[in-house]
Amino acid sequence: MTSSKLCLGILLATACCWPRASLAQTDPKASADEHFRRGVEFFRDRRFGDAGTEFEEAYRLSPAYVVLYNIGQVNAALGRSVEAVDAYEKYLKQGAAQISPERTQEVQNELAKQRDRIGTVALRSTPEGAEIRMDGKWIGKTPLARPVRATIGRHTFDAFLSGYAPQIYEIEVVGKAERPLEITFTVDPAVTEKEAEAKAAEARAAEARAQAAAMTGRPAPAPVVTVLQLPRADSGGGVAGTSPSGGRESAASARSSINWQRTIGYVVAIGGLGTATIGGIIAYQGANKSHDASDRLAQAKTNMDYDLALPDFQDGKSRNRIGWIVAGIGGATLIGGIILIATAPDHVTSGVALGLVPTMTPGSRGLSLLARY
């Protein structure tokens, strides 16, 4: 008799021992009986995944120890040695003296085979407190109480910690051996930029509050007045030392220069404002996308969920960086346009162009921004 026929015979024998539903039984027991029988049929058809689902549901509804043997058989057939060992050990513990010596010896032999196919991974993270998943299944948070057991073969470990970029490792597990795994987190640029922006905003607010408190406690300083002395005009209406015609030509030239500078300043400022706005929108959308994807990564329960969320996370981070770059370029352009507008002469008097010239001077309270004509 082959091993597959032997397993099938044992399952059918176990099915015969399973108590049938009667009128006096409650609904959960009747439902458990139905799940168990479907599991036996699936195992007969070598649909081990479906059989395992049915056996697990039967045990959940009515935790009879005999079902644990079937669960162990299914996990062994699927190559899941850790789950098979857990089921067999619970079967022997709960069945105890009710299990025949022959069946006990059979389970002990199978346990020895499955344990040879199990290794461990000693996992640590810096900093601690990271959520760990193995092959999409949640394991726990670091520091872990004991090394992680895994069936021989390649396994994927995902680590997530708020404020840091997710870490992904692949480990080849060897039977009856322990593999170390050190996880070191790197700072997430998107989170760092957001924290820096929040700190800068807090600093600006604190400075504004300090200035307001200082102003309420003392009188406002007298405004700085700059007196402009213009040359006296001669009887011809021009500037002393120049002819009337020369004064008119100079004034016309100055007006033309004023108009062009101011026009260019407005165009540059508007373009810079639009560019900065677009960049801010892109950065905001990228940050939201990366944060949403990060939450999806942290909550992923399967490899498929993780694979779907990871491209969105990386794309969101990229869009956030691009948005900040575009916003910075737009801000610089906006400042350039404002400078052009502010330094353009306001009007012309007697051939002399009057304009606003900004200056900065140091003082006891920092730099003072003034202007002169």
Domain end marker among 161, 184, 207: 184
Q: Which CATH number goes with the domain that contains 139?
A: 2.60.40.1120
**CB neighbour class for 53 (10 Å; exposed up to 12, middle 13-18, buried from 19):** middle
Let me know if residue 204 belongs to a domain: no
* Distances 213 to 207, 209, 358 between C-alpha atoms, Å: 10, 6, 27
pLDDT at 142 over 50: yes
pLDDT 10s digits, 3-61: 444 444 444 444 444 444 333 345 788 999 999 999 999 999 999 999 999 999 999 99
Let me know if residue 323 belongs to a domain: yes
Answer yes or no: do 254 and 365 share one domain: yes
Residue 115, pLDDT score: 96
Kindly state the average pLDDT of the residues 106-114: 95
The helix/strand/coil state of 37 is: helix
Answer yes or no: do 35 and 93 share one domain: yes
Answer yes or no: do 260 and 144 share one domain: no
Answer yes or no: do 12 and 98 share one domain: yes
Answer yes or no: do 367 and 257 share one domain: yes
More confident residue, 93 or 233: 93
pLDDT at 204 over 80: no
Q: Which of 50-59, 273-282, 289-298 has the lowest mean pLDDT?
A: 289-298
Answer yes or no: do 249 and 368 share one domain: yes
Q: Which of 53-67, 154-168, 228-242, 299-313 has the lowest mean pLDDT?
A: 228-242
Answer yes or no: do 293 and 260 share one domain: yes
Total domain count for the chain? 3
Answer yes or no: do 264 and 358 share one domain: yes
Answer yes or no: do 102 and 133 share one domain: no
User: Where does the pLDDT of residue 258 fall: very low under 50, low under 70, confident under 90, or very high at 90 and above?
Assistant: low
Residue 145, pLDDT score: 94
Let me know if residue 170 belongs to a domain: yes
More confident residue, 29 or 368: 29
Let me know if residue 273 belongs to a domain: yes
Let me know if residue 172 belongs to a domain: yes
Element housing 261 (H / E): helix 244-299
More confident residue, 48 or 370: 48
More confident residue, 54 or 216: 54
Domain of residue 317 covers: 244-372
Answer yes or no: do 106 and 146 share one domain: no
Residue 343, pLDDT score: 80
Average pLDDT, the chain: 77
Pairing of strands 137-141, 131-134: antiparallel
Element housing 81 (H / E): helix 81-95
Let me know if residue 230 belongs to a domain: no
Let me know if residue 330 belongs to a domain: yes
Domain end marker among 80, 115, 150: 115
User: Where does the pLDDT of residue 361 fall: very low under 50, low under 70, confident under 90, or very high at 90 and above?
Assistant: low
Residue 253, pLDDT score: 56
Q: List, in sequence order, every beta strand (DSSP E) within the chain.
A: 118-126, 131-134, 137-141, 148-151, 153-160, 167-173, 178-184, 345-349, 352-355, 357-363, 366-372
Domain end marker among 100, 115, 130: 115
User: Where does the pLDDT of residue 295 fall: very low under 50, low under 70, confident under 90, or very high at 90 and above?
Assistant: confident
What single string gives the DSSP state of each residue in 262-316?
HHHHHHHHHHHHHHHHHHHHHHHHHHHHHHHHHHHHHH--SHHHHHHHHHHHHHH
